Structure 1
Amino acid sequence: MRMEGKVCIVTGGARGLGKAMVEKFAKEGAKVVYACDLNEEALKDLEKEYSNVKGYVLNVTDRKAIEEFKNKVMEEEGHVDVLVNNAGITRDALIQKMSEEDWDIVIDVNLKGVFNMTQFFAPEMMKAGKGAIVNISSVVGIYGNVGQTNYAATKGGVIAMTKTWAKEFARKGAQVRVNAVAPGFIKTPMTEVVPQKVIDYVVSKTPLGKMGDPEDIANAVCFLASDEAKFITGQVLGVDGGLIL
């Protein structure tokens, strides 16, 4: 039970990759997993299925709401062991057609949202002297992708923040680790809207010849969040079937 007794937070935890992470942590013995999302009904379903999951409606762009959530967690549990910054959206378009609104909202959720959550919870981990933060990036943040200027910028930024925080949060001896996972093409609601010809092309370029499953990402996140990875920080783990080699 790799997460036994741990207090965990997963943003974007109601479906797709986030749901898989919440379920993995719950099954691995976490004391409590706070699943944060805007989908209240899906959160209720998770609570019904797992006694150690608590759903919390939270917008990662709302700093006041995040502060209230942090206060609630600290009041209930007194500490946080794991934070997974997973919440993310896409608004794809070629740069000639990308609206300022689509640029701003992707930056706000995918980049500033990660900053917001970390700024509120990392200091609590540092006070406790330990903790693990796992940020969800993407292979797009490493090699780019046509039509995803905004998304690629955020995921590249997440990698840069991960490496910065790995140095910053351990400066005074605290065992606070920060790592990132960079998924390739995974079967999620987000990729369901991708044209089949695009999926077929990417799969053809993937050495393992298939798309990944949400559980593949959840397993990687669980490892980095667990004590098994206690000497790993500042790293980006690609889970992409070999797409980037």
Structure 2
Amino acid sequence: MTNVRPLEGKLAIITGGSRGIGAAIARNLASKGASCVLGYTSDKSAQTTDQLVSELKETHGITAVGVQADMGNPNGPAHIVNTAKSQFSHPRSGKFRIDIIVHNAAVSQNLPLEEVTIENFNWQYSVNVLGPMLLMQAAVPHLPTDRSGRVVTVSSVSSSLGFKGQTVYGGTKAAVESMTRTWARELAERCTVNAVNPGPVATDMYNGTSTEFQQHMRPFIRTAPLMKEREGIDPEEFVQAAPRDGGRPGYDHEIAGVVAMLCSEDAGWCTGSVVCSNGGLKFSY
């Protein structure tokens, strides 16, 4: 018997892969044998990405590269695919295949309706919606032709719960879910396409939201079945903050676990779905 990892030999592209949920997804997929291309945007993320690349190589024995590309720039998504092709094409045949794509990169700024600007609208839609579409266009020629490909979009409970201040961000995530369903049909002979919809997760993005917004989230968190804090299991800081916050946030590795499930061979009969990855804060349907 041989100990073959389930994603051995597969190539995964993960946007927003340098930190938070994206880094957790990279660690999970790498642990299962997938080589990883980690997209990141800013210069300040370069060192973090380099460290993660080294970690993935040393810990899991896979090949990993970081690619700096702005998903809000029309040339950014194609740059990720072209760089991956230059790094992972077969040296003799030139064969190149992308097995997994995780659309994780996103930006957010909560603003009341009266303060939303065209510039803010364009920024969020360019990164969160146009970027994934352009990445898929660049990647389609390199996807498998036997339905073995896996595409996962990272949406949000914001797409359907109507949180205050999310006129734009919530709309971008609803658009992502709509594209997910369309791609599931258009690319049915190439790959499955599913979405996950996290709620509050202990990441820099959520920690950067206002106290007012976090209090707006409190009643939603209080009724989420799995967001009840667990003394002795959850970090003490979350247990202590639970009376104020309504419960504990999700952890990046919990979201990564659901994503990895959808990237597995066993998920081959699931496509066009939004899969709950929020502890029951928003049941999927």
- Give the TM-score range, shorter chain: over 0.9
Deviation string, structure 1 residues 1-46 (Cα, Å, up to 9, x no partner) = 332221000000011110110111111111x100100221111111
1:45 is the counterpart of 2:47: no
**Corresponding residue to 2:134 among 112, 116, 120:** 116
> Partners of 1:86 and 1:134 in 2: how far apart?
8
Tell me the secondary structure at the aligned position of residue 168 of structure 2.
helix
Aligned length, in residue pairs: 241
**Unaligned residue ranges in structure 1 (runs of 5+):** none
Residue 35 of structure 1 is matched in structure 2 by 38
Partner of 1:23: 27
- Contact 2:72/2:123 (CA < 8 Å) preserved in 1? no
Residue in structure 2 matched with residue 160 of structure 1 by the alignment:
178
Give the Å deviation of 1:212. Answer: 0.9
Larger radius of gyration: 2
| TM-score normalised over the length of structure 1 | 0.92
Distance (whole Å) between structure 1 residues aligned to residue 170 and residue 207 of structure 2: 19
2:239 corresponding residue in structure 1: none
Aligned position for 1:143? 161
What CA distance in whole angstroms lies between the structure 1 residues aligned with 2:137 and 2:102? 13
Runs of 4+ in 1 over 6 A off after TM superposition: none
Cα distance, 1:185 vs structure 2: 1.3
Describe the SS at the equivalent of 1:50: helix
Matches within 5 A, 1:24-103: 24-30=28-34, 32-38=35-41, 39-51=45-57, 52-75=63-86, 76-77=88-89, 78-103=96-121
Given candidates 193, 200, 225, the residue that maps to 2:208 is 193
Contact 2:13 2:36 in 1 (8 A): yes
Q: Which amino acid aligns with 1:205?
A: T
Q: How many Å separate the matches in 2 of 1:143 and 1:36?
A: 29
TM-score by length of 2: 0.80
- Match of residue 191, structure 2, among 166, 176, 187: 176
Alignment RMSD, CA only? 1.7
- Kindly indicate whether the alpha-carbon contact (under 8 Å) linking 1:184 and 1:238 is maintained by their aligned counterparts in 2: no
Contact 1:140–1:152 (8 Å) recurs in 2: yes
Note the residue ranges of structure 2 that are not aligned, 5 or more in a row: 58-62, 90-95, 229-247
Report % sequence identity.
Answer: 30
